[in-house]
Amino acid sequence: MISIQSDFSLKPFNTFGIDVKAKYFARFSNLKELEEILNSKEAMQHEHLVLGGGSNLLLTKNFEGLVLKNEMKGMEVIPASSHDAFLVKSFAGELWHNLVMFSIEQNLAGIENMSLIPGSVGAAPMQNIGAYGVEVKDVFESLEAFEISTGKIKTFSKEECQFGYRESVFKRALKNKYIIISVTLLLHKKAPLNTTYGAINDELKKAGINTPTIRDVSNAVIAIRKSKLPDPAEIGNAGSFFKNPVISKADFEKLKNAYPDIPSYPSGDNHVKLAAGWLIEKAGWKGKTISNYGVHKNQALVLVNYGGAQGSEIYNLSEDILQSVKSMFGVELEREVNIL
Ligand code: EPU
């Protein structure tokens, strides 16, 4: 039985903790409920917003349409082509971290570096989430999505998702056309663990671990994240607010002359990825607080709401940061978070 609520506060449903209202709000835990909601007059007459964990979203105003909260749950392991490989299928309404924990309990490797990323399973492929050297696309098998205009379920392969750095076709050409229903990953019992990211190695050494298990890597990632990133349950935030910018090698050489200690990572043959957090820190923003919101003290890429801030205030802060990084380094930052 579905219920469509009116003038509904979205505060508990976005990790920034912004208090705006949706004109209508409804939850679905299976396809029948989703269809019922989409056939309602509220859905027919208004725009839709599908919410997963609300962890990559900045709400700057009331939403004058229908918010659909995906609560489809369930996870299963399916043997794949070899004795070592397994498909893990999860419905989109599960928390991503619960899927990571489920996989580790099955002794399956591949997503342990993405432990503790807030948000839902359905949102993970949408922006190709990633951390500590691994992205969803590295373990992605397929996903099922509900086409809003036809009510048909379509299976998307990795190629069809057009994954990029924090990008997929669902943020671009197919934006608002599909609702992700389930995600299937290909994981392995004997996959090599990815501990190349310096901080993971340091953390494992600190714990005296030489031959880490899947869970050891997950624990190391959890410790690093807890030390650097604010917990959205305590301080409102949406993780990295900006993407790490990619610039040409020629532009990078000029910057390197002026700032010899600038961190950089290779990105294809002719480009270099910069650390947006470093640029923002150098521009003087790290730890800056403006009344009840600001820039996190341990990670300048994260904007925070200490409680009661307006989404538009945080947006304006992001605009100021963008401008000052541009005038200092000539580099244009791009927001990672979806603005509504
Ligand atoms: N740095 C600074 N000052 C800061 C923050 C970072 O100088 O305030 C420097 C660090 O010292 C380091 C470099 O910037 O040299 C990179 O920092 P870090 O390892 O913390 O990672 P990041 O590039 O800032 C990215 C992802 C994170 C992910 C981490 C770890 C993006 C936009 N962000 O951050 O993802 O957890 O790498 O893999 O790609 C997210 O997307 O929401 C997110 C948290």
- Could you name the CATH architecture of 75-188? 2-Layer Sandwich (3.30)
pTM for this one? 0.96
Other beta carbons within 10 Å of 122: 27
Minimum CA distance residue for ligand 1 atom 32: 243
Cα 244 to ligand 1 centre (Å): 8
Pocket of ligand 1 (CB under 6 A): 131-132, 228, 239-240, 243-244, 263, 275, 277-278, 281, 286, 299-301, 336
Please compute, for residue 254, the number of CA atoms within 13 A of its CA located in the half-sphere on the CB side: 8
**CATH number of 4-70, picked from 3.90.1150.10, 3.30.43.10, 3.40.50.2300, 1.50.10.10:** 3.30.43.10
For the stretch 80-139, pLDDT in tens is: 878 899 999 999 999 999 999 999 999 999 999 999 999 999 999 999 999 999 999 999
Spatial neighbors of 334 by CB under 8 A, at least 6 apart, are 242, 243, 245
**CA–CA distance, 166 with 95 (Å, rounded to integer):** 18
Domain residues of the chain, as ranges?
Answer: 4-70, 75-188, 236-339
Cα 277 to ligand 1 centre (Å): 6
CB 160 within 8 A of CB 145: no
For the stretch 247-274, pLDDT in tens is: 999 999 999 999 999 999 999 889 999 9
- Could you name the CATH architecture of 236-339? Alpha-Beta Complex (3.90)
Q: Do domains 4-70 and 236-339 have the same CATH topology?
A: no
pLDDT tens, N- to C-terminus, the chain (340 residues):
899 999 999 999 999 999 999 999 999 999 999 999 999 999 999 999 999 899 999 999 999 999 999 999 999 999 887 889 999 999 999 999 999 999 999 999 999 999 999 999 999 999 999 999 999 999 999 999 999 999 999 999 999 999 999 999 999 999 999 999 999 999 999 888 999 888 999 999 999 999 999 999 999 999 999 999 999 999 999 999 999 999 999 999 999 999 999 999 999 889 999 999 999 999 999 999 999 999 999 999 999 999 999 999 999 999 999 999 999 999 999 999 999 9
Q: Kindly list the catalytic residues.
A: 166, 240, 336
Minimum CA distance residue for ligand 1 atom 10: 278
Cα 276 to ligand 1 centre (Å): 7
- E runs forming strands in 223-340: 236-240, 246-248, 264-267, 271-274, 289-290, 293-295, 302-305, 338-339
